[in-house]
C-alpha cells in the first residue's frame, strides 16, 4: 500500500511596508525554509527577496490570475510543499489578493499559519491623537468620480473615524473630494510613505493639508476623524 504524502502548509507572511529592516526574525526564518514564495507581482517579490539576501522560486498570484493559479498552488501544497504568501508590502490578504487561495486551503484541510508583522493600517492608527476605540475601514473608493462622491457621502454620516486608502496618483484627488464632501474644516490625519525616507505625517484640517501635498504621488493612508464630523463646514 502506497504511503500518502502529508500535506504541506501555507504561511501568511507580513513583510516591510517600506523599510526592509522591519522584517521580523520569524518571517525571515519562514522565507528561508519554504519551498516557494507566492507574491503579488514578480518584480516586487524579487526586489524584496534580493534585499533580504534570499533566493526562492516566486509564484505570482494577483487579481488577474488568482482563480486559476490558486488551484495549481493548492495542488503543490497537497503534494507536500510548504509555501509562503506575501503581498507587495505589509500584511497579505487584507485589501490584497489571497482570499480565494485561503478558501481552497481550508477546503483541502491544508494548514494555514499567520506570521504577523508590519501593517500600514495599524502603523497609521498608532499615530492618531483622537479616539480609535472604534473605527471603520472603508478601504479604496470606487474609481469613477461619480461613484466616489456617492461612496464618500454615505461615509459622512458615520460617527467614528473612517480609514481610506487609494493609489498614490489619486492622493490629491481623494483629499479634494474629502474637502468637498466632509467640509474644509474636517479634522484628518494623513500618513504618507510610512517607514520610508520621505515619511511624513500631516495632522489638522483638510483645507490646510491639501495645499501642502497637492500634485504629489505618495503611498498614503487617510484617517477622517468623524468623531468630530459636525464641525463647521
Rg (C-alpha) for the chain, rounded Å, is: 20
Domain containing 129 equals: 121-228
Last residue of a domain, one of 86, 118, 150: 118
Residues 94 and 148 in one domain: no
| Distance from C-alpha of 191 to C-alpha of 224, rounded to nearest angstrom | 11
| pLDDT tens for each residue of 159-176 | 999 999 999 999 999 999
Residues 19 and 79 in one domain: yes
Residues 105 and 125 in one domain: no
Q: Report residue 140 as a C-alpha cell.
A: 479604496
| pLDDT tens for each residue of 87-109 | 999 999 988 889 999 999 999 99
**pTM of model > 0.85:** yes
Residues 185 and 216 in one domain: yes
Residue 233 lies in a domain: no
| pLDDT tens for each residue of 57-82 | 999 999 889 888 999 999 999 999 99
Residue 3 lies in a domain: no
Pairing of strands 58-60, 36-39: parallel
CATH of the domain at 80: 3.40.1010.10
99-107 and 66-78 helices, crossing angle to 10°: 40
Amino acid at each position: 500500500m502506497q504511503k500518502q504524502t502529508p500535506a504541506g502548509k501555507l504561511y501568511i507572511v507580513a513583510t516591510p511596508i517600506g523599510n526592509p529592516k522591519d522584517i521580523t526574525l520569524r518571517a525571515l526564518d519562514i522565507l528561508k525554509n519554504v519551498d516557494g514564495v507566492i507574491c503579488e507581482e514578480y518584480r516586487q517579490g524579487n526586489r524584496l527577496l534580493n534585499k533580504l539576501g534570499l533566493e526562492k522560486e516566486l509564484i505570482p498570484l494577483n487579481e488577474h490570475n488568482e482563480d486559476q493559479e490558486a488551484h495549481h498552488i493548492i495542488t503543490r501544497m497537497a503534494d507536500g510543499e510548504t509555501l509562503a504568501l506575501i503581498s507587495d508590502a505589509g500584511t497579505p490578504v487584507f485589501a490584497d489578493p489571497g482570499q480565494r487561495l485561503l478558501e481552497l486551503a481550508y477546503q483541502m484541510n491544508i494548514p494555514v499559519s499567520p506570521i504577523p508583522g508590519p501593517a500600514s493600517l495599524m502603523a497609521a492608527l498608532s499615530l492618531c491623537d483622537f479616539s480609535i476605540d472604534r473605527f471603520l475601514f472603508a478601504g479604496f473608493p470606487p474609481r469613477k468620480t461619480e461613484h466616489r462622491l456617492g461612496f464618500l457621502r454615505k461615509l459622512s454620516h458615520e460617527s467614528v473615524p473612517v480609514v481610506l486608502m487609494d493609489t498614490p496618483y489619486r492622493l490629491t484627488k481623494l483629499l479634494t473630494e474629502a474637502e468637498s464632501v466632509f467640509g474644509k474644516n474636517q479634522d484628518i490625519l494623513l500618513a504618507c510613505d510610512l517607514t520610508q525616507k520621505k515619511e511624513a505625517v500631516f495632522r489638522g484640517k483638510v483645507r490646510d493639508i491639501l495645499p501642502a501635498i497637492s500634485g504629489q504621488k505618495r503611498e498614503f493612508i487617510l484617517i477622517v476623524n468623524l468623531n468630530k464630523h459636525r464641525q463647521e463646514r
